[in-house]
């Protein structure tokens, strides 16, 4: 059975609540699709108004981050249960900006993955290499380490339901995009890694996105690759072009 495409927008730290509602209205008719899952991963303060704004549409809402504890003295953090209760379905975990700027390591991210699954959220687990790592020829070594570390004690059935997003750090927000061949090669490498960790059926089921300057001009070619099941889209998700990415065919 063919894997259903999943195209998610990562809004990052953009859009006030009122701006978010306006954008949802602008994109509503543009992102209609019967062939792909569409997700807006929005800033925490936008979650409640965006959930309300997309009611009755094909769009699901995701969070950009969460903490692994259920409740307590963790000022500024948001729990998986809070997200679930607010209507969130997906949560980005381990984006390179979280790993880099906020020093989130794989031990922490593994806790987040397991807590998200426990709460009934679908993790969008990010992985990717720096330009230096690619030039050193250690791309797959690095990504395999991330995947294996982040999925410790996660079962095959749970992995089948999550999403993995490959984002080469050097292509995020730079306008540079991995070539179609580079993106497919790494996404296949991730699938092969999952097969080694679990089995072929699990590897065949898990959806793997490509992210890194995805736009209306390159989406169709990227998403046509056998191991690329959609995209995690940054800047292009904040404008009308997102509709062209969703409806890439």
- Which residues are part of the catalytic machinery? 95, 167
For the residues of 43-71, what is the DSSP string, one character each? -GGGHHHHHHHTTTSSEEEEES--BSSSS
Kindly give, in sequence order, each residue whose CB lies less than 8 Å from that of residue 6, ignoring residues fewer than 6 positions away: 36, 37, 39, 163, 207, 209, 229, 230
Are the C-beta atoms of residues 37 and 246 closer than 8 Å to each other? no
Are the C-beta atoms of residues 8 and 229 closer than 8 Å to each other? no
Q: How far is CA 10 from CA 14, 65, 72, 165, 213, in A?
A: 9, 11, 28, 11, 12
């Amino acid at each position: 059975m063919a894997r259903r495409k999943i195209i998610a927008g990562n809004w990052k730290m953009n859009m006030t609540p009122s701006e978010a509602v306006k954008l949802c209205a602008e994109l509503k008719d543009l992102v209609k699709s019967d062939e792909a899952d569409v997700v807006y991963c929005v800033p925490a303060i936008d979650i409640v108004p965006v959930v309300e704004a997309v009611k009755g549409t094909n769009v699901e809402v995701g969070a950009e981050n969460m903490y692994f504890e259920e409740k307590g003295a963790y000022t500024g953090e948001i729990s998986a249960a809070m997200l679930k209760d607010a209507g969130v379905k997906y949560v980005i975990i381990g984006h390179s900006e979280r790993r880099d700027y906020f020093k989130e390591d794989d031990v922490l991210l593994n806790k987040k993955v397991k807590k998200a699954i426990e709460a009934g959220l679908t993790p969008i687990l990010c992985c990717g290499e720096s330009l230096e790592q690619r030039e050193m020829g250690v791309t797959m070594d690095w990504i395999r380490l991330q995947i294996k570390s982040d999925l410790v004690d996660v079962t095959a059935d749970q992995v089948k339901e999550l999403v993995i997003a490959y984002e080469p750090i050097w292509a995020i927000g730079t306008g540079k995009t991995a070539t179609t061949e580079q993106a497919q090669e790494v996404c296949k490498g991730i699938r092969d890694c999952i097969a080694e960790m679990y089995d072929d059926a699990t590897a065949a089921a898990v959806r793997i996105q490509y992210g890194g300057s995805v736009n209306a001009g390159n989406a169709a070619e990227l998403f046509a690759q056998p191991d690329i099941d959609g995209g995690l889209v940054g800047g292009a998700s904040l404008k009308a072009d997102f509709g062209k990415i969703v409806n890439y065919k």
